[in-house]
Amino acid sequence: MKFRYLIGFIALWIATPLLFASGAQESAVEEEQSLTITDDRGESVKIDLPVQRIATFPLPHPHIIAAVDGDLDRVVGASSMSVSAAEISVLGKMYPSFLNADSSYLDGQSLNLEELVRINPDVFFTDKVLEGMEMLDASGVPSVYMGLKQETISYGEGTSTVYSPKETMRDWVSYTAEVLDKNESNAMEISEIWSETEEEIMSVIENVPLAERPKVLILFKTKALLAAGDGTFGHYWIARTGGINAAEDLKGKHPAMIKMGSFEDIMHWNPDIIYLSNFENTMPSDLFENSIDGQDWSGIKAVREGRVYRIPLGIYRWYPPSLDGPLMLKWMAQKNYPDLFDYHMEEEIREYFREYHYYDLTDQEIRDILNPASSGNL
């Protein structure tokens, strides 16, 4: 009997180093299969590879993931506003599985930690430092913070520092490609086209004297009196398409919108052209018919002259950072200066989608992009 114990003991003694060795081997493999990146907080975030389940917070991010990854199957969680945009756009047709993405862990601007842990993502992307975020790492959900990027651009006689849809898009493409271990070149090509389009438009507008440039107002939410003030994405779009921002005196920190004092501000600015963001259900007809309670649009120049437009919804909403940025520039430049730009937008959109989104749009889909439906769930 004792002999048996001895053999057992010896066997164990021999096996132990082997066990350790195999353990060491395993951890080495683990090291190979994880990725450490430094995010915009300056935190180094360790992500286990391969990434199969992605949860994301920034509204424009899902379509960027689609472009980088060629699919949206890995996206298991996204903001309800990303999903609602996909429901009424081609993104939902291109990637139907995305319409089932879970939004339950996001309640407006706050994060429900347990819900996020429940859907068990391998990585979580956010463009805001959310409350409870520091708890995520402890819960085994690595979170990558990718902030919005600013740039200084020429505006009027001087310059203006704005939240840049272009730079933000470029940055998010990089983060996404790195985490998904994908080639970013195709999406990055868009950023080059974007810069070329900027130059193309500016070379025409340079010749228009400041006094003759249209006064443009972008309304983010009409009833709530939220406009694209100084430094917002909207300020970028207006500056890059040769307009004067009617709301340039509105200062604030938000990248997309700043609250104006009262409706009297709009009457005071009396803009030549008004753009509605499509982040709300207000339509140009609401302004033309003057049907918004507590607001009087009938005297505003843009309304009297029929120059109120709703911003299109392509692969994503065109107002925030999106991969359709070059199209937005052309569309808006043409609305601002119908005599100077003879873009055939329908064809521009068709070719762009074929080239960069690998998708053949039908005529109806192109019409829908230019005239986005109102969405009940915003």
Partner 1 sequence: MQKTRENYTLILLLLGVVLFLLSLISLSLGRYPIPLKDTVYILLHPAGGGPGDELFMPRRVLLNIRLPRLILALSGGFGLGVSGAVFQGVFRNPLVSPGVVGVTSGAGFGAALAILIFGWGMTTQAFGFLFGILALASTWMIARKSDAGSVLVFVLAGVVINMFFQAMITLVKFLADSEEKLPSIVYWLMGSLSTASWKKAALTLPVILPSSIFLLSIRNRINILSLGEENVRGLGVDPRKPMAAVLILTTLTISAVVSVAGIVGWIGLIVPHISRMLVGPDHNRLLPASALTGALFFLLIDTIGRTISPQDIPLGILTAVVGAPVFVILLIRSRGRWAL
> Helix, strand, coil: what percent of the chain each, to 5?
45, 15, 40
Question: How near is the Cβ of 108 to partner 1 at its closest, in Å?
Answer: 3
Residue 322 tokens read as 């999106």
**Helix (H, G, I), strand (E, B), or coil: what is residue 220?**
strand
One residue of 298, 362, 371, 374 binding partner 1 per CB under 8 A: 298
- Part in contact with partner 1 (CB under 8 A); list of ranges 119-127, 142-150, 170-178, 290-298: 290-298
296 forms part of the interface with partner 1 (CB under 8 A) = yes
Question: How near is the Cβ of 337 to partner 1 at its closest, in Å?
Answer: 23
Residue 38 tokens read as 């430094």
In whole angstroms, give the CA distance from residue 23 to residue 29: 10
Cα distance between the two ends of the chain: 76
Question: How near is the Cβ of 372 to partner 1 at its closest, in Å?
Answer: 17
10 forms part of the interface with partner 1 (CB under 8 A) = no
Number of residues that bind partner 1 (CB under 8 A): 26
Question: How near is the Cβ of 328 to partner 1 at its closest, in Å?
Answer: 22
259 forms part of the interface with partner 1 (CB under 8 A) = yes
**DSSP state, residue 276:** E
- Part in contact with partner 1 (CB under 8 A); list of ranges 95-103, 295-303, 323-331, 344-352: 295-303
Contact 39, 136 (CB under 8 A): no
- Residues 188 to 227: which contact partner 1 by CB under 8 A? 223-224
In whole angstroms, give the CA distance from residue 224 to residue 249: 18
Q: Which residues contact 95 (CB under 8 A, 6 or more apart)?
A: 66, 71, 72, 73, 86
The interface mask with partner 1, positions 104-123, x = CB under 8 A, is ---xxx--------------
131 forms part of the interface with partner 1 (CB under 8 A) = no
Query: In terms of CB distance, is 268 or 367 closer to partner 1?
Result: 268
Query: In terms of CB distance, is 187 or 300 closer to partner 1?
Result: 300
In whole angstroms, give the CA distance from residue 127 to residue 165: 13
Element (H, E) at 154: strand 150-155
The interface mask with partner 1, positions 57-96, x = CB under 8 A, is ------------------------x---------------
Select from 68, 50, 49 the least CA-distant residue to 60.
68
128 forms part of the interface with partner 1 (CB under 8 A) = no
Select from 139, 119, 137 the least CA-distant residue to 46.
137
Per CB under 8 A, residues contacting partner 1 are 81, 107-109, 223-224, 259-265, 267-268, 270, 280, 293-296, 298-299, 301, 304, 378
